[in-house]
Structure 1
């Protein structure tokens, strides 16, 4: 398997045809997987905002006040309001805002970015990353994973994760197959799109030198059943109810 970054993409702006911009710079093969950073997907889809667009409500002001007291510096309640409005639920609002996005991803600050956003204060995640991936797949003629970077419980550092995908299942389902001792596997479901996003993140980079699109070539899903469940539902999540109860006001 080969993973390489697509070089030479210009700054992406609202309305840009991201599929065409990518296709002009790489000779794609039908079985390629194109991993596209959510930042450029959001920019192309016009998902920018300014703090002035938000009027902070009571909860946002309370979050900002408490954060300022703990950090010893001013915090803008309008940012807290932006996170609230981008979220289906805030699982916790102290010491960080851990949000459930409207498409099911759980992440800090609802994934709102404040860096590399020319002309605006904020960059929101794509509204529907799965739909974004399908549009890109149609334009590119290749499999697509829309990626982001995210922290992990119990570990330092960030890694790439998938927000949306098209053209391949989210996971390899090993249940029912046999291990080396002949035992039937009962629980293993391998989150392939997350692993592809992580591989892509190794070559796309971060900061001002990052390249937002990578191609994974010669990846073989294999002769496995596919599974498309990646985001746990509230009813299927052991952690979410505990966090919700602990931080209930």
Structure 2
């Protein structure tokens, strides 16, 4: 398997055709996987915003005040308002806002970015990242697209690339029913392929000012395994979310 960044992409603005920008700079193959950072997807879709667009309501002012009290750092209630409007559930209010987005992703501050946003104060995540991935895929010779983001994971320091949208492939590779080297049947092994591809792409895309938000994965083979269609865990089977709800008294 080989990975390489798409070179010389311009600063993406609202209305830009991402597929065309990619297509003009690299010769893609049908079986390539194109990993696109959510930042440029959001920019192309006009998801930048100013704090002034989110006048803080009572709930946002309460959340910001609570964060200030818990962290000792000044918090803008307008930012809290933006997070609340982009979320369907707030799992934690302090020492940071951990929320579920409208499309099912759980992350800090609803994934709202405040860096590399030349056209506004904030950059919101794409509204429906898998639909964004499908639109990009339709404009490319490649059959598979993954929209990536960066977020931290429980129990680990640092951040990593994860998939928030995908098209042309299933998110998971299902090993259940297969056997290990000793002949024992696997019963719970579902491999999150789109997350692994996103993490690999993030090694090249980087986190700062590299300007390489699109990475091509070449010669990735699915193998002779079943597909698993679920990616975001259902609340009923999410032990961590249920524990957080019990801890916060909800």
User: TM-score, normalised on structure 2?
Assistant: 0.97
Aligned counterparts of 1:44 and 1:228: Cα–Cα separation in 2: 27
Q: CA deviation at 1:69?
A: 2.5
Q: Hey, what does 2:163 align to over in structure 1?
A: 162
Deviates more, 1:160-169 or 1:68-77: 68-77
| Kept in 2: contact 1:5–1:203 (CA 8 A) | yes
Q: Does 1:20 align with 2:9?
A: no
Q: CA deviation at 1:119?
A: 2.2
Q: Hey, what does 1:4 align to over in structure 2?
A: 4
- Structure 1 segments of 4 or more deviating over 4 A? none
Deviations 1:106-133 (A, max 9, x none): 0000000001101201100000001001
Q: Does 1:181 align with 2:168?
A: no
Equivalences for residues 1-249 of structure 1 within 5 A: 1-142=1-142, 143-248=144-249
| Kept in 2: contact 1:104–1:233 (CA 8 A) | no
Aligned counterparts of 2:197 and 2:74: Cα–Cα separation in 1: 39
| Kept in 1: contact 2:170–2:228 (CA 8 A) | yes
Aligned counterparts of 1:49 and 1:145: Cα–Cα separation in 2: 24
| Kept in 2: contact 1:160–1:201 (CA 8 A) | yes
Deviations 1:77-103 (A, max 9, x none): 010010000001001111110000111
Q: CA deviation at 1:210?
A: 3.8
Deviations 1:133-176 (A, max 9, x none): 11111111311000001101001011100001111111110001
Deviations 1:179-234 (A, max 9, x none): 11111110100000000001100111111124100000000011110111110111
User: TM-score, normalised on structure 1?
Assistant: 0.98
Deviations 1:26-70 (A, max 9, x none): 000000000000000000000111110112121211111122233
Runs of 5+ in structure 2 lacking a partner?
Answer: none
Aligned counterparts of 1:164 and 1:119: Cα–Cα separation in 2: 24
| Kept in 2: contact 1:148–1:161 (CA 8 A) | yes
Number of positions where the alignment pairs a residue of Structure 1 with one of Structure 2 = 249
CA RMSD in angstroms, aligned pairs only: 1.0
SS of equivalent residue, structure 1 residue 140: coil
Q: CA deviation at 1:74?
A: 2.1
SS of equivalent residue, structure 2 residue 160: strand
